[in-house]
Amino acid sequence: MKILITAGPTREYIDDVRFLSNASSGRMGYSLAAAALARGHQVELVTGPVEQPAPAGCAVHRIETTDQLRQRCLELFPECDGVIATAAVCDYRPKERITGKITKTGRPITLELTETSDVLAELGGQKGHRWVVGFALESQDPRNNAMRKLRMKNCNCIVLNDTSAIGSLTNTVEVLSPEAETIALFKGTKEEVADRLLGLIETSIVKPGL
């Protein structure tokens, strides 16, 4: 298979030097890319800014903003068999980006924010014969919020984890079906979780749809 994997954070710039973002390390997405390569798949890795090197053997597409993520994914998805979306997309961006650098004046400033594109929902809306696996990082009402995301984004399944996963070497995830059933529970290093999740995709997500 050829798999599209998104990883890492996106950035939304306030001015030419400051931006909104999050603490995603990209480790889960990079671990999934490595696991997919080890299982003989092709990988298109669309990655935000992270410190770790990409796994050898995958095609790497580096982006910063959510719009750049959207554009690259829409270009790549038609040639892929499915997508695993682990990228921690910045949900809001400044309504206007300031040219140059904002100078301190000793007074408060107000930022007006607007929502960024829902990249996974757009991919899910045009998936056709392809499969879509989403990730949900939740801290409040996790299952209901994860199921809402699954349905809004037309996912085949969604991987639920919590904020303890950010920057961690380990992860604990629950994989939920469109019927709100628990397909699997995985716990371990992110590399171990990634390999088990790829195995689940191969046996329970891909084959039933062929």
| 3-state SS, one letter per residue, for 21-61 | CCCCCCHHHHHHHHHHHHCCCEEEEEECCCCCCCCCCCEEE
Lookup: tokens for 161:
């984890």
Rounded CA-CA distance 135/86 in Å is 6
Rounded CA-CA distance 57/124 in Å is 26
Between 27-38 and 190-200, two packed helices, what is the crossing angle to 10 degrees? 50
Residue 92 CB contacts under 8 Å (≥ 6 apart), including other chains:
12, 20, 113, 114, 115, 116
Q: What angle do CA 62, 36, 181 make, to 5 degrees?
A: 105
Respond yes or no: is residue 22 known to be catalytic.
yes
Lookup: tokens for 168:
């961690």
Rounded CA-CA distance 149/83 in Å is 15
Rounded CA-CA distance 92/113 in Å is 6
Kindly name the residue from 22, 145, 156, 161 that is annotated as catalytic: 22
List the catalytic residues: 22
